[in-house]
Amino acid sequence: MKPGLEDKMRELVMGESASAALEEWSQFLSDLEVVPYNYRGDHVAEAVDVAKQLAQETSADLDIVVMATWLHDCANPNTAGTPLPTGITHCEACASKAREFLVGEGVDAPTVKRVCDAIRKHGGYALEKPLEPIEAQILWEADKLTKVGLTSVIRQIINGVRYEPNPSMKGILQRVHKLMPLCRKIAASVMTEPGKRMATKRLRNNEDFITRLEKELYFLE
């Protein structure tokens, strides 16, 4: 082939298809009547499923766990952190909003206290020892386990399009690769037996996804 011809062809195809794609996406976004992806809602709903699954294999109070998990991010409905008044943490803001909601719903004071205590403890990506009571540990694990596994990969891809638009397949592989240290850190802090089993499976799913995509993209055996 004539020297430089392949570069010219790449330039032609990538340039024209990028303009066409921008037009299509702009049209799609301007016609949109539903949100393309409700990250926070999807994360919380998945965390509730995980929390129920973990709670039923432990001595945790299911009602406390379910209320705490549904409300654990209630002061932060968007994808990135919501700006908070100085000195107030995400966990405190969510606990205080949860308290207001539950009191308004007529939930008894001791229950509200237990739910808010669990919410207040759900921060961070690593634990040195299990949280107490068990309901707080279950919420912590359910929240963090949604950041491990195939669901986290899919979220990373969807949300990643907003943060760094127009990724290539190799770029997606790199992004998913970058998730691994966090996934391993989380898995090491999961301490209940059902949580550990789930973390092991989810971590393996992350690794399998990376290996399989790598093999496809780089023609490896």
- Contact residues: Fe ion, CB under 5 A: 73, 143
Shortest Å, Cβ 125 to Fe ion: 11
Tell me how far apart the alpha carbons of residues 73 and 57 are, in angstroms, rounded to a whole number.
24
DSSP annotation string for 42-97: HHHHHHHHHHHHHHTTSS--HHHHHHHHHHTTTT--SSSPPP--TT--HHHHHHHH
- Residue nearer to Fe ion on the CB measure, 39 or 209: 39
Contact (CB, 8 A) for 138 and 54: yes
Give Cα 92 to chain centroid, integer Å: 20
- Residue nearer to Fe ion on the CB measure, 145 or 173: 145
- Residue nearer to Fe ion on the CB measure, 46 or 61: 46
Shortest Å, Cβ 48 to Fe ion: 10
- Residue nearer to Fe ion on the CB measure, 69 or 206: 69
Contact (CB, 8 A) for 123 and 72: no
Shortest Å, Cβ 21 to Fe ion: 32
Shortest Å, Cβ 69 to Fe ion: 9
10 Å Cβ neighbour count for 73? 24
